[in-house]
Structure 1
Amino acid sequence: MDRQRRNALKAGGGIGLWAMLVATGLVTPAAARAARDDAVFDADSLDGALRALGAQAARDSEEIRIVLPDVAEDGRAVPLGVSSRLPRTEQIVVVIEENPYKVAASFVLSASMLPEVHTRVKMSRSTAVHVLVKADGQFFVARRDVKVTVGGCGV
């Protein structure tokens, strides 16, 4: 997918979702404007993504569980599950090392939510998937390698 189309889809989808949330009164207009962090999603290196998140000093943790296939037959839709047993989990961020856009997803969680997410991600080639979890104001990380037989991302 080219950059211009990706940006148009991100803007259109984001605007529609936030407009619905604002219209229903679940989110204030100020919160809707502040919710998207372009620096995080536009990072083109792993270090850049970590810097944008403020997670350069993330510590390894075995309390983060990543469910991914060892071999992904099709990189266009790789199933991913993440759960955290870290107390006071605030955020879960998925970073895919070899993708053109490193941050694939970011989930901000409230205290009443179960710290578990399931989604599908695109992967351009065999690579490491890093999951960053922000818990109690600190970042923790877990990593899992995935072999991709047919890539799903274009530059």
Structure 2
Amino acid sequence: MNRREVLSHSARVAALLATVGLLPQPAHAAYNAAAFELKSMPDVVKGLGGGTPAESKDVTVTGPDIAENGAVVPVGASTTLPGVKRLLVLVEKNPSVLSAVFELTDAVDANVSTRVKMGQSSNVYAVAMMADGKVLFAQKEIKVTLGGCGG
């Protein structure tokens, strides 16, 4: 088999895989631009279709007590409750309160982590939006010694 035949066969296989949907597709995030414009946790939750948030011991927010560099602060949100459809990470004193939205199913553990920018010391919220309409949250104060938003 020569090079031309190999390329021809490869192209046919790729075309067949594409027609049955077996080739990798780019991921598309569910992006709600309006939610990133809102300025408080209850407004963000309402903007994403949730009800009144209630504090819960079943939701956990993780992060350092003191972040030396506000440009990269590792934070996480988790819960062991079943039926979580969304986990949010919010930073109260950031220009955009909503920092991250994670869409979940029951097939994955509701345990996410990311890095956020924090311009100043602030409360960080982990919000779990449940399939039954409940909205639960936990909060943690993270002190920032060097600002990360524009500084």
TM-score (structure 2 length as normaliser): 0.75
2:143 alignment partner in structure 1:
147
CA deviation map 1:99-138 (0-9, x unaligned): 0111000000022011101111111100101111012332
Paired with 1:95 and 1:35, the residues of 2 have a C-alpha distance of 17
Paired with 2:51 and 2:144, the residues of 1 have a C-alpha distance of 27
Bigger fraction of residues in helix: 1
Native 8 Å contact 2:91 2:123 kept in 1: yes
Q: Which has the larger radius of gyration?
A: 2
Name stretches of at least 5 consecutive residues in structure 2 with no aligned partner.
1-22
2:89 alignment partner in structure 1:
94
2:78 alignment partner in structure 1:
83
Name stretches of at least 5 consecutive residues in structure 1 with no aligned partner.
1-22
In structure 2, what residue type is equivalent to 1:148?
Answer: V
The answer to whether the aligner puts 1:53 opposite 2:43 as a matched pair is no
| Identity %, equivalent residues | 34
Partner SS, residue 74 of structure 1:
coil
The answer to whether the aligner puts 1:24 opposite 2:38 as a matched pair is no
1:115 alignment partner in structure 2:
110
Paired with 1:53 and 1:111, the residues of 2 have a C-alpha distance of 20
CA distance 1:47–1:63, change in 2 (3 Å): closer
Paired with 1:41 and 1:103, the residues of 2 have a C-alpha distance of 5
In structure 2, what residue type is equivalent to 1:138?
Answer: K
Size of the aligned set, in residue pairs, is 128
In structure 1, what residue type is equivalent to 2:65?
Answer: D
Post-superposition offset of 1:53: 2.3
Native 8 Å contact 2:42 2:52 kept in 1: no
In structure 1, what residue type is equivalent to 2:142?
Answer: V
Runs of 4+ in 1 over 6 A off after TM superposition: none
1:9 alignment partner in structure 2:
none
CA distance 1:135–1:50, change in 2 (3 Å): closer
CA distance 1:127–1:39, change in 2 (3 Å): same
